[in-house]
């Protein structure tokens, strides 16, 4: 019986997926310490040479990992909205709940984000990915708020600014919970966001004559 190959041959796209998963694993477990190409190589079972073959720089690999994680969380939010029915308020609440549930409550996600944020100003790749993915989130939330405005007859609502405000509230509460999880729970964060949404309805609806 011939000697088996040490490495299993994989298609390039399969290797990229494995490398992205390994990068997220290393960053979630070790934060900035997980940025080592050798650690990522060991976690992926792929040689450093092949990493360099698929990516021109470590930043490019991290940027793709950032985009993959962000898109997966956005897709989870969209799926939650799809399951919430046709009511715009229910859809917004479902979106918020998805952002305070697994995997967002995994401490490793914050470690990944800290690495991503720390690298954004070092070059154009991560900044470009951040701007594009944040725009996708904002457009998604704007769509939900536009439906809310129709449901509650809210002609005074600045949808773009409201989307920025809601995302900022969600992000701020998530970061605060990650740093101090005993100060309040995810359910309390959701209640705060729902109260903000309901207050928005009251403030943006014209008073009855």
What are the pLDDT digits (tens) for 108-153? 899 999 999 888 876 678 899 999 999 999 999 999 999 999 998 8
In angstroms, rounded to a whole number, what is the distance separating the alpha carbons of residues 74 and 7? Answer: 34
In a domain, 209, yes or no: no
Helix (H) or strand (E) segment spanning residue 53: helix 48-54
Q: Is the per-residue pLDDT at 45 higher than 50?
A: yes
Which residues fall within 8 angstroms of residue 151, CB to CB, at 6 or more apart?
Answer: 87, 88, 89
Q: Is the per-residue pLDDT at 195 higher than 50?
A: yes
Burial class (CB in 10 A: 0-12, 13-18, 19+), 37: middle
Q: Residues 80, 17: one domain?
A: no
Q: Which residue range forms the structural domain that includes residue 47?
A: 10-55
- Using 50, 70 and 90 to split pLDDT, how confident is the model at 107? confident
In a domain, 4, yes or no: no
What pLDDT shows up at residue 10? 57
Given the structure tokens 């290393």, which residue do they identify? 26
CA distances from 156 to 24, 92, 153, 208 (A): 42, 19, 9, 14
The CATH number linked to 74 is: 1.10.357.10
pTM, two decimal places = 0.85
Q: Residues 31, 110: one domain?
A: no
């Amino acid at each position: 019986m011939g000697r088996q190959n040490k490495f299993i041959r994989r298609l390039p796209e399969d290797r990229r997926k494995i490398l992205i998963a390994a990068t997220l694993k290393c960053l979630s477990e070790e934060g900035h310490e997980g940025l080592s190409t050798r650690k990522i190589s060991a976690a992926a079972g792929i040689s450093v040479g092949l990493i360099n073959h698929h990516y021109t720089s470590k930043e490019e690999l991290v940027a793709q990992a950032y985009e993959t994680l962000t898109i997966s969380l956005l897709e989870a939010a969209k799926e939650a909205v799809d399951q919430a029915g046709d009511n715009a308020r229910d859809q917004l609440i479902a979106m918020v709940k998805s952002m305070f549930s697994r995997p967002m409550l995994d401490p490793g996600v914050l470690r990944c984000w800290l690495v991503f944020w720390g690298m954004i100003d070092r070059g154009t790749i991560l900044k470009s990915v951040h701007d594009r993915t944040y725009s996708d989130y904002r457009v998604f939330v704007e769509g939900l708020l536009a439906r809310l405005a129709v449901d509650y007859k809210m002609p005074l609502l600045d949808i773009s600014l409201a989307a920025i405000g809601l995302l900022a509230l969600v992000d701020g509460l998530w970061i605060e919970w990650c740093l101090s999880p005993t100060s309040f729970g995810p359910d309390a964060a959701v209640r705060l966001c729902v109260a903000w949404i309901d207050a928005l309805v009251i403030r943006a609806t014209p008073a009855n004559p």
